[in-house]
A = this chain, B = another copy of it.
Amino acid sequence: MAGTDRSKSRRDGDTGPAIILVEPQLGENIGFAARAMANGGLSDLRLVRPRDGWPNDKAVASASGADSLLDAARLYGSVESAIADLRRVYATTARPREMRKPVVTIRQGVKDIRKAVLREERCGILFGPERMGLTNDNAALADTLLTIPLSPGFSSLNLGHAVMVAAYEWYQAGDSTPARSLPRSKTPPATKDELIALFRHLESELDTCGFLKDKAKRPSVVRNLRSLFQRSEMTEQEVRTLRGIIVCLTEGRRRPRRGSDA
């Protein structure tokens, strides 16, 4: 049995959890679910008795290019058959259930699934129909209940949105995008020599025009201006641009101004 399971998961080239839509009503939502799965790098879509039959044109329209997931979707007559080859099953649920079964948040759940996948244990997540969610009997087939914490004032989640959150969390659990970054520019960061030359250029012009005439305040105004420009982590090119701007702005003082009422 384990052998069959493994060869199947290799054939699929798919290590993420199966997304199992139980009696989905709107084809549109099946398409949205497929698109969300593709966004999160998931591909094993299973449908249990979709209300409007299968295939479904509305699903194709809302999948926006995730057609290969729809083409590969497998159709089942029961939840039992849809989960037969899986080793861990999670049931999404909005409301608390009269069931003494572990409950994990979706964020914790995807971490657990990633560990199970490393042990080659295929997992799946059950999503109930739009209006009612999973029946208690179907939720009882799962090992674990999966909860998506949301505002208690408005916790009714669209089916496509629920799959989006699951697919998004699945992807984040394996993603290494830095939380914070500043893109490198084409020119290197300015040297301190270039930066200090800019500061001196600006301050000398500000002395000339009288902006720094208050001798008592001058040191702190200069420090604050230098801090402001340093916070921008300027490149060589940006320092050259600012120096050009200072030259341009101060030219008017040397030449008579031209204009309508000058």
Contacts and interface: CB of A to CB of B under 8 A. Distances in A.
Interface of A: 32, 35-36, 38-41, 64-66, 96-97, 99-105, 107-108, 147-151, 153-158, 160-161, 164-165, 168, 171-172, 175, 177-183, 185, 235
A168 B171 contact: no
B161 A103 contact: no
Given A39-B151, A151-B171, A156 B64 contact: yes
B38 A154 contact: yes
A contacts with B: majority SS:
loop
A154 B185 CA distance: 27
Given A149-B175, A158-B160, A165-B165, 4 more contacts: A103-B180, A105-B178, A151-B171, A165-B168
A14 to B, nearest CB: 12
Contacts of A65: 154, 156
A83 to B, nearest CB: 21
